[in-house]
Amino acid sequence: MRLTRRNALIGLGTAAAGAGVIGGTGAFTSVEADREISVSSAGDSSANVQINVVPVQGLADSTGDSDSVIGLDFNSLNQDAKTTFNNVLEITPQGGNGPYDVTINSAPTNVSFEVGDGGNSLPVNDGATVAFDVIIDLRDGASASEIGTEEEITVSVTQN
């Protein structure tokens, strides 16, 4: 093969391409790095999701502090009855990225939370309040003593 300008350029181009394959593109497949994260909480009055108990006869916020854990006291419930406290638990998303679905996923034994048409979830826009009913069902031999004193509910607020 005679060395011409064309052959020299082809040879140099082939060598450069080969070096690029051998040397790689500079990309990587994995990285390990230490990062810090900071998480803080706020009272319900300034949090992204505000939760409020509206006191009604027979049901109250047992904590007495609107910025602490919500507590519900059930007083003087009728045995063998289904008792409904309307619009007692208010949940207000404040995230600024709504609309949201507000759902109560779990509840103590014999207690349920319903909103609107009887479901446990409702779509809501930023700053709008969803008011849940609290239903205590003591029919079929159930007793108020079956409702634990340290029970938890799970409230989910998800962006639509």
Tokens of 107: 């509840």
**pLDDT value for 15:** 66
Contact (CB, 8 A) for 157 and 91: yes
Among 66-70, 130-134, 151-155, top mean pLDDT goes to: 130-134
C-alpha distances (whole Å) from 92 to each of 51, 125, 136, 154 are 7, 9, 23, 15
Q: Is 44 among the domain residues?
A: no
Q: Is 32 among the domain residues?
A: no
The residue among 72, 66, 69, 73 whose CA lies nearest residue 52 is 66
91 pLDDT higher than 80? yes
Mean pLDDT, all residues of the chain: 74
Q: Is 141 among the domain residues?
A: yes
Q: Is 9 among the domain residues?
A: no
Q: Is 41 among the domain residues?
A: no
pLDDT tier, 24 (very low <50, low <70, confident <90, very high otherwise): low
Q: Which DSSP string do the residues of 133-157 spell out, in sequence order? A: EEEEE--TT--GGGS-TT---EEEE
pLDDT digit string (tens) for 26-42?
666 777 888 777 766 66
Q: Is 55 among the domain residues?
A: yes
User: Residue 122, Cβ neighbours under 10 Å: how many?
Assistant: 18
Q: Is 33 among the domain residues?
A: no
Report the predicted TM-score, pTM, of the whole model to 2 decimal places: 0.61
Helix H or strand E encompassing 155? strand 154-159
Contact (CB, 8 A) for 45 and 66: yes
Specify the number of domains making up the chain. 1
Tokens of 13: 């181009």
Range of the domain at 114: 49-159
Q: Is 6 among the domain residues?
A: no
The residue among 59, 80, 68 whose CA lies nearest residue 144 is 80
